[in-house]
């Protein structure tokens, strides 16, 4: 009876340790603001006390090849392990081992209850990973919604500001031109008036870009061969690339189907993307332009080998007036205008980048429907 009582006490003590281990992991996972790395590192430190010989037990959790270990863990010792499975895929393992050989029990030197425990820990780790990924995806979608809402609000403000500025800018430009023509000869006053004209024209161009971003200026669509637009636009940029030590490589799909688009605006999209790529390669590099098509859309890719962008910067590039350039080098409207043009054509633009590895912009434009093709053809015939 005494022996049976001792065994019962030992078994009870072991079950308590196992429950304490699982409870500790659950408490760590519930801490606010804790990172997944911290959860896994603290979880692995809670494992050895849950085993029969805690003083010589060591543990490791491996997730996607990254290990979280207790001190002195060795890979070549006898161990008990369980797979961490999320989404039907093995993402890693939970492992517990003893630093020296112990008497054989149910599974090597381990109890069958310890097999149940390590399986439970692996399931708990998988649940933690799933919850964290769900939270991250939720936050990403919420940020996308916030970003879209900011763009919509800024677009409405931009349209209002543009309309309000157009009339005074027109007056400034018109009166400056009249005053310059009224002067009998060229002098300092005419020079100043020319500067007023130039500043007014620049301001009007900014207003025009604001209108495009806010999509207040509808595209004048015609049937367009995207390859021809690219060739024409690059004609003016090839010399600039050559001077900057930049190789311009094209891979344009033959027999690319036509799309209903405003050729001027699509040219502006390409020019802005290529100019941004040039500015991202102060020491030279390569720009790669590719076109392809499927049954639904035409794709244009502009890729460079420039300085690239980190994740934080990448999330802001389509926000109006956001720029990393000096005040006199850019307005921060280039990519937001590109975004507005592509959207007004029913397309999408996405960007990918890594610091030191360049950037890649992908523009998708829908193929022309029969109705759009007839309308675009009519506009060409009418000379509009």
* DSSP assignments along 198-234, one per residue: HHHHHHHHHHHHHHHHTT-S----EEE-HHHHHHHHH
pLDDT of residue 300 exceeding 50: yes
Residues of each domain in the chain carrying CATH 3.30.450.40: 2-138
pLDDT at position 159:
67
Better pLDDT: 319 or 250: 250
pLDDT of 240 > 50? The answer is: yes
Spell out the CATH class of 145-213.
mainly alpha
How far apart are alpha carbons 248 and 215 in whole angstroms? 31
Residue 91: pLDDT band (50, 70, 90) is very high
Q: What is the pLDDT of residue 153?
A: 65
What mean pLDDT do residues 126-155 have? Answer: 76
Percent of the chain having pLDDT more than 90? 28
Which of 100-104, 215-219, 339-343, 372-376 is the least confident region?
372-376
| Residue range 134-163: mean pLDDT, rounded | 71
Residue 336, pLDDT > 50, answer yes
pTM: 0.45
Where residue 221 falls among pLDDT bands split at 50, 70, 90?
confident
Cβ count within 10 A of residue 192: 13
Tokens 């280039």 identify what position? 334
Please determine, for residue 10, whether its predicted confidence score (pLDDT) is greater than 60: no
For residues 79-97, give the mean pLDDT: 91
**CB distance 69 to 60 below 8 Å:** yes
Class of domain 2-138: alpha beta
Q: Which fold has domain 222-381?
A: Heat Shock Protein 90 (3.30.565)
Domain(s) of CATH 3.30.565.10: residues in the chain: 222-381
179-212 pLDDT tens trace: 888 887 778 888 888 889 888 888 877 776 666 5
Least confident of 115-124, 141-150, 194-203, 307-316: 141-150
């Amino acid at each position: 009876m005494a022996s049976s009582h001792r065994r019962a006490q030992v078994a009870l003590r072991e079950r308590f340790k196992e429950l304490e281990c699982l409870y500790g992991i659950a408490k760590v996972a519930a801490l606010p603001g804790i990172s997944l790395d911290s959860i896994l590192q603290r979880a692995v430190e809670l494992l050895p006390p849950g085993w029969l010989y805690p003083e010589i037990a060591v543990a490791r959790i491996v997730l996607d090849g990254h290990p979280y270990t207790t001190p002195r863990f060795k890979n070549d010792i006898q161990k008990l392990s369980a797979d961490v499975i999320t989404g039907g895929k093995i993402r890693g393992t939970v492992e517990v081992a003893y630093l020296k050989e112990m008497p054989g029990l149910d599974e090597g030197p381990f109890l069958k209850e310890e097999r149940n425990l390590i399986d439970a820990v692996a399931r708990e780790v998988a649940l933690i990973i799933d919850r964290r990924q769900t939270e991250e995806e939720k936050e990403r979608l919420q940020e996308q919604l916030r970003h879209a809402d900011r763009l919509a609000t800024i677009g409405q403000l931009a349209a209002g500001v543009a309309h309000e500025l157009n009339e005074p800018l027109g007056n400034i430009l018109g009166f400056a031109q009249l005053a310059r023509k009224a002067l009998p000869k060229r002098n300092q006053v005419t020079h100043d008036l020319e500067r007023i004209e130039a500043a007014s024209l620049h301001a009007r161009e900014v207003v025009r870009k604001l209108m495009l971003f806010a999509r207040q200026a509808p595209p004048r669509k015609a049937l367009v061969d995207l390859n021809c637009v690219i060739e024409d636009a690059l004609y003016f940029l090839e010399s600039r690339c050559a001077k900057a030590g930049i190789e311009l490589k094209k891979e344009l799909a033959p027999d690319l189907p036509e799309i209903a688009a405003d050729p001027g605006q699509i040219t502006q999209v390409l020019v802005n993307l290529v100019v941004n790529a040039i500015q991202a390669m102060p020491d030279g590099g390569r720009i790669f332009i590719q076109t392809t098509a499927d049954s639904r859309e035409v794709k244009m890719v502009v890729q460079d080998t420039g300085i690239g962008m980190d994740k934080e910067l990448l999330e802001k590039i389509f926000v109006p007036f956001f720029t990393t350039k000096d005040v006199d080098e850019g307005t921060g409207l280039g990519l937001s205008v590109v975004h507005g043009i592509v959207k007004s054509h029913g397309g999408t633009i996405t960007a990918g980048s890594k610091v030191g590895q360049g950037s890649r912009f992908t523009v998708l434009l829908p193929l022309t429907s029969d109705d759009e093709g007839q309308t675009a053809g009519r506009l060409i015939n009418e000379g509009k």
